[in-house]
Amino acid sequence: MINTATCPRCGTENRADAMNCVACRINLKFAQEHPAEIARIKQEDTKREKLEGWAFGNALVGMPASKEESILLPGLLLLGSFAFAFCLGEAVHELGHFLTHRAYGFDVQIILDPFGGSKTLGSSSPREIWGITSAGGPFLNLLVSLVLLLFLRSKRRPALLPLLLWGPIALVQEGVTLSLGMLTPGGDAELIVDWGVPAAILVSLGVLLLASGVTVICWLLPLVNLSPADSFSRKFSVVTSGLVSFMVLRLLCSSLLSPDLASENAVPLIFSLLLATIVVLLYDPLYPILNRTTRTEPASVTWPATVVSIALGMGMILFQLVSFRG
């Protein structure tokens, strides 16, 4: 009969002459001589097991719990940053329309609504300046956001992500405005074309802005602790948590407030899902190229940075809900 010894840590039966436990690999002599230390290790094991059960999506994507736990903070950081950048971009876009109308001496009304789309109404300006006033919105949004992005490019860190993300989100917003916006009768793109800008040039500019926005988003993804070495599942979970979750909330709220516009309000959600997928697919091939110009290593995401991001996002939503309503 073979003599055995029970591991004080995990309870596994081992050969009496074994150096390490066959299950948990702890040194058996150390474990027998340090019961207090083993008690502490067992407490840590219990906490880790609880976290493994709590880590959302673990069974679905088949990744280690330690990786899954790290999805929560990056996802929330990106969600708050995206909500802030998206709503701020909408507000500055409408401010551009407002200021351009005022420059010509005409009064307009701004309506900001993070869940139903913001707009500028009530202008009596002549049609011949509509192209200029329509271009004022995209121009101001792009100008201010990209200047801020250039200013902060050397100060990249998770706490600044809400401000940094405004630049690429503005590129995407105005890229959609100038390209896909051609399909919207009476929209900014159609009015700019009526003013005299060739449609082909406007659509090409819109596509260029979209591509640039996707590229810059990929450049910022290391700030939410994503790297090319991560699995597709983890990258997709973090990016969709940030870019798609807000659009889901936006669709639900807008559908409750305006049920007749439910199908129209579903378009941004579909586009955000498509955008998230494209960003994840392009992240790996773009990462080494972007790192040659400006090296950005995956950053550790902390609760303070995440809380600031969520607070800024909620603050911008509340600002639009209580201000400039029709």
Domain membership of residue 61 (yes or no) is no
13 CA to centre of own chain: 49
Question: Structure tokens of 259?
Answer: 């049920």
| Per-residue tens of pLDDT for the chain, all 326 residues | 567 788 888 788 878 778 887 777 788 788 888 888 778 777 776 655 544 443 434 433 334 444 444 799 999 999 999 999 999 999 999 999 999 999 999 988 888 888 877 888 877 788 889 999 999 999 999 999 999 999 999 888 999 999 999 999 999 999 999 998 888 888 899 999 999 999 999 999 999 999 999 999 999 999 999 988 888 999 999 999 999 999 999 888 888 877 776 777 788 999 999 999 999 999 999 998 998 877 777 888 999 999 999 999 999 999 988 876 65
Cα gap 245→82, rounded to integer Å: 10
Is there a single domain that holds both residue 12 and residue 87? no
Report pLDDT for 55. 42
- Sign of the torsion angle spanned by Cα atoms 187, 323, 141, 137: positive
Q: Is the distance from CB of 23 to CB of 7 less than 8 angstroms?
A: yes
Same domain, 34 and 106: no
Bridge-based pairing of strands 109-111 and 4-6 is unpaired
Whether 57 is covered by a domain: the verdict is no
Count Cα atoms within 13 angstroms, Cβ side, for 290. 21
Residue 64 lies in a domain: no
How large is the C-alpha radius of gyration of the chain? 26
Return the pLDDT at 326. 53
Q: Is residue 58 part of a domain?
A: no
In this structure, are 42 and 97 located in the same domain? Answer: no
Q: Are residues 147 and 11 in the same domain?
A: no
Amino acid at 71: I
Return d(Cα 237, Cα 244) in angstroms, integer.
Answer: 10
Residue with tokens 């009596």: 124
Q: How many domains does the chain have?
A: 2
43 and 189 share a domain?
no
41 with 181, same domain: the answer is no
What's the burial of 86, exposed, middle or buried (CB within 10 Å: 0-12/13-18/19+)? buried
**184, 297: one domain:** yes
Do 292 and 153 fall into the same domain? yes
Q: Are residues 284 and 316 in the same domain?
A: yes
Same domain, 21 and 157: no
Q: Which residues are bridge partners to 73 per DSSP?
A: none
SS (H, E, C) the chain: CCCEEECCCCCCEEECCCCECCCCCCEHHHHHHCHHHHHHHHHHHHHHHHHHHHCCCHHHHCCCHHHHHHHHHHHHHHHHHHHHHHHHHHHHHHHHHHHHHHHCCCCCEEECCCCCCCEEECCCCCHHHHHHHHHHHHHHHHHHHHHHHHHHHHHCCHHHHHHHHHHHHHHHHHHHHHCHHHHCCCCHHHHHHHHCCCHHHHHHHHHHHHHHHHHHHHHHHHHHCCCCCCCHHHHHHHHHHHHCHHHHHHHHHHHHHCHHHHHHHHHHHHHHHHHHHHHHHHHHHHHHHHHHHCCCCCCCCCHHHHHHHHHHHHHHHHHHHHCCCC
Would residue 324 be called left, alpha or beta, if left means φ above 0 and alpha means ψ between -120 and 50 degrees? Answer: left
pTM beyond 0.85, yes or no: no
Q: Per the domain annotation, does 62 fall within a domain? A: no
Show the tokens assigned to 258: 């305006």
Q: Give yes or no: residues 32 and 88 share one domain.
A: no
**What range does the domain containing 34 cover?**
4-50
Q: Is residue 55 part of a domain?
A: no
Q: Could you tell me the end-to-end alpha-carbon distance of the chain, in angstroms, rounded to an integer?
A: 87
Shared domain for 236 and 293, answered yes or no, is: yes
